[in-house]
Structures are given as C-alpha cells and as structure tokens.
C-alpha cells in the first residue's frame, strides 16, 4: 500500500492503494467516480477510457502508480457545470446510444481524437475509434456525432481536452 496523489478533473485526490491497482478500480471503488466502466479488463473494449495528459487511455490496464500527478479527465469532468461538452451534446443530438454503457468511453475517445485532429474524415474516425466497442451497434450514429462535434465547436473541444 502507498499514499497516492491523483489529479482528476482539476481536483487533487489522495488514496491509500497498491500502486499496481488499475486506475479504473481506483476511480470506481475508491473515489466513487463510476462514469468510467469495466467492460473487459484487457484494454479491448474502451468502456473505461479516460484522458491522461489529454490523451485517451484505457484505465483498466493503467496502473494507478504510473499516473500520479498527471492530469486525468473522466467523463464526470467534461461538462462545465450545466454546459455540456460539445461531444456530449453531439451524442445527445444524434441519439448515438442505446444502452449507453459504452457512451462515456466513446465520448472520451472522441474528445481525444478531436484534440489531435479537429476535423477528421470518416476513415480517420473509424481508425481511431476502432478500439471502442458498442455492442448495441450504434457505430454509424457515433461517427455522425463526432463529425457534428467537429463541425460545430472546435474551440470548445480544445478547451475541454486540455483540462
């Protein structure tokens, strides 16, 4: 066990945990940040995706000891108060979900993609998002949502991703 300091959504959290514990477990069990989901435990489905230093990472295969003092953003930290992040709004507008269990991971991956590439074409979206599984099969809507977010609100995307 060790005392670990984490910077999550702009706040500092201190947890007493084995540094080998996955970041996902710490988020969900220690900090009750349950927006990030468990889907496979081996980085195959993307349901647990968070931003570390602004980049999409699979928190289920990220050891918590490796991300101390790096800025971490989870889905809970995307909206500014009542004002949704443009990617969140685009997912609502395009109804890009069914059971929505994959949605937080999809949104986090999409935010990361748009930070790297503010106007991706369809091929680039598919390539980047291919590690995220939606078992309900709403892929075409998610592609549309990402395109919409890219079109409508690029400055805000950059802001959200840099937090």
Among residues 4, 56, 64, 97, the one that binds other proteins under rule CB under 8 A: 97
Strand, coil or helix: 154: helix
Query: Does residue 135 belong to the site contacting other proteins (CB under 8 A)?
Result: yes
Range in contact with other proteins (rule: CB under 8 A) among 44-52, 65-73, 112-120, 148-156:
44-52
**Ordered DSSP codes for 70-132:** SEEE-GGGTSBTTB--HHHHHHHHTT--SS-TTHHHHHHHHHHHHHH-SS--HHHHHHHHTT-
Query: Does residue 117 belong to the site contacting other proteins (CB under 8 A)?
Result: no
Range in contact with other proteins (rule: CB under 8 A) among 64-72, 84-92, 111-119, 153-161:
84-92
Query: Does residue 98 belong to the site contacting other proteins (CB under 8 A)?
Result: yes
Gap between the Cα atoms of 139 and 120, Å rounded: 16
Of 6 and 45, nearer to other proteins (C-beta) is 45
Range in contact with other proteins (rule: CB under 8 A) among 64-72, 96-104, 112-120, 149-157:
96-104
Query: Does residue 73 belong to the site contacting other proteins (CB under 8 A)?
Result: no
Q: Closest separation between CB of residue 94 and other proteins, Å?
A: 9
Q: Which two tokens stand for residue 149?
A: 């977010």
**44 Cβ neighbours under 8 A, 6+ residues apart:** 131, 133
Strand, coil or helix: 141: helix
Which residue bears the tokens 């409508």?
A: 152
Question: What are the residues binding other proteins (CB under 8 A)?
Answer: 18, 21, 25, 28-29, 32-42, 44-45, 47, 74-76, 78-79, 84, 88-89, 91-93, 95, 97-104, 107, 125-127, 129-130, 132-143
């Amino acid at each position: 066990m060790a005392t670990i300091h984490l910077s999550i959504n702009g706040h500092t959290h201190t947890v007493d945990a084995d540094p080998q514990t996955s970041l996902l477990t710490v988020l969900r069990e220690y900090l009750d940040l349950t927006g990030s989901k468990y889907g496979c435990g081996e980085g195959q489905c993307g349901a647990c995706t968070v931003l570390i230093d602004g980049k999409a990472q699979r928190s289920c295969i990220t050891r918590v000891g490796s991300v101390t003092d790096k800025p971490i953003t989870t889905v809970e930290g995307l909206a500014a108060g009542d004002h949704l992040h443009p990617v969140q709004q685009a997912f609502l507008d395009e109804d890009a979900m069914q059971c929505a269990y994959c949605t937080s991971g999809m949104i986090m991956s999409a935010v990361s993609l748009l930070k790297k590439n503010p106007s991706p074409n369809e091929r680039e979206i598919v390539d980047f998002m291919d590690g995220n599984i939606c078992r309900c099969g709403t892929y075409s809507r998610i592609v549309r949502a990402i395109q919409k977010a890219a079109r409508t609100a690029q400055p805000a995307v950059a802001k959200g991703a840099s937090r």
